[in-house]
Amino acid sequence: MRPYSPGKPIDEVKRELGLSEVVKLASNENPYGPSPKALQAMQEALPHLNLYPDASQFDLKAAISRKFDIPSEHLIVSNGSDQIIHWLGEIFLGSPIDEVVTSTPSFQKYDGTALLADCVLKTIPLDAEHRHDIGGLINAITENTKLVFIANPNNPTGTIMKRQELDALIGRLPKGAAVVLDEAYHEFADFDADYPNGLDYVKAGMPVITLRTFSKAYGLAGIRLGYAFAPTEMVEALNRIREPFIVNNLALVGGIAALSDDEHLKRTVQGNAAERARLTEFLKEQGLQVIPSHANFVMVDLGQPSQPVFDALLREGYVTRPGTVLGMPNFMRISVGTADEMTGFFQAFARVLEQTKVHA
């Protein structure tokens, strides 16, 4: 297994390079910050940190249930959706012949689930358009397949699996298997008519586990809060193995408040759409190839190894994500920031292009 390689923290870059101002465009965080309602709710909860959190997460589950019109029996809440990915390996994988099928490159934790269980891992390369290869994924499924992980939109490419493709994939599952639909970037992609909503499949009683997170559109990455919709028997199994106090008090109240702040979510989604379009157009103007993105980041082909460009941008005070750690060494993933952050990045990137002689 390879250890997960996170984006460089802002303080680390400041210390290493002696910079006073650093903009992080590496980890797909919300540049608009948390919901003001969530901040107030967490502030009010601070005096009660001497108490254990509600192990059942009753109020948070009720809020999610109301928001998405689904019974709480279909919900599991966790310390980040990564934790649920790990749990799924524990309840689905128990034999060396069990199989996990996923795409590559995609989120690294899917591979880890199979490797920790010491079972069969099948990774299917993305197609020529950097999308999930639906034919390759279907062909990889056998009677021993237990889990099929699909990031939708995919990280790091930002591309989506369309509804008819997902339907075909689910139709090939053997009995006892499930598709894990990771919708960490769901809120940014919901505008596309062909984009499937994993919640619909769960409501229809299909073998689909839909992961969601408060880390991206809701701006609460720092308190680690994720959840999933799943068939009730899977939720019951997950509840048997999880730790009792997995979600802390601040996350419980912050999540409830964030769900109620439609204004903040709207601002985030609209701001991301506008600045993603600006970023895409700017990169194309530099003669670079850009993968069309449905998320809050853009993947660009630099036409040469990305590490020198990453290093040069660090010296300019901008942290990005080099493709060397994502399985695409000539690419760079750039998170979408605010309008001011993007304007400054454009200027820095143009200087770096000249310095490193990067051209498509």
First to last CA, the chain: 33
Domains of the chain and any CATH numbers: 10-34+263-356 (3.90.1150.10), 36-260 (3.40.640.10)
What percentage of the chain has pLDDT greater than the value 90? 90
Q: What is the pLDDT of residue 49?
A: 96
> With 80 as the cut, is the pLDDT of residue 8 above it?
no
Pairwise CA distance, residues 142 & 140, whole Å: 6
Is there a cis peptide before residue 36, judged by omega within 30 degrees of 0? no
Pairwise CA distance, residues 211 & 222, whole Å: 18
| Residues 236-295 pLDDT 10s | 999 999 999 999 999 999 999 999 999 999 999 999 999 999 999 999 999 999 999 999
Under 8 Å between Cβ of 358 and 303: yes
Sign (positive or negative) of CA dihedral 274, 276, 277, 279: positive
Average pLDDT over residues 174-179: 97
Pairwise CA distance, residues 260 & 221, whole Å: 17
Instruction: Tell me how crowded residue 67 is: count the other CB atoms within 10 A of its CB.
Output: 12
* pLDDT category of residue 229 using cuts at 50, 70 and 90: very high
Candidates 220, 290, 280; CA nearest to 255 is 220
* Residue 226 exposed, middle or buried by CB count within 10 Å (0-12, 13-18, 19+): buried
Q: What is the pLDDT of residue 228?
A: 98
* pLDDT category of residue 2 using cuts at 50, 70 and 90: confident
pTM: predicted TM-score of the whole model, two decimal places:
0.94
* pLDDT category of residue 1 using cuts at 50, 70 and 90: confident
Give, in order, the Cα–Cα distances in Å from 300 to each of 132, 180, 281: 18, 27, 11
Candidates 334, 261, 331; CA nearest to 295 is 334
Pairwise CA distance, residues 254 & 250, whole Å: 6
Strand, coil or helix: 73: helix
Q: What is the pLDDT of residue 7?
A: 75
Pairwise CA distance, residues 25 & 35, whole Å: 20
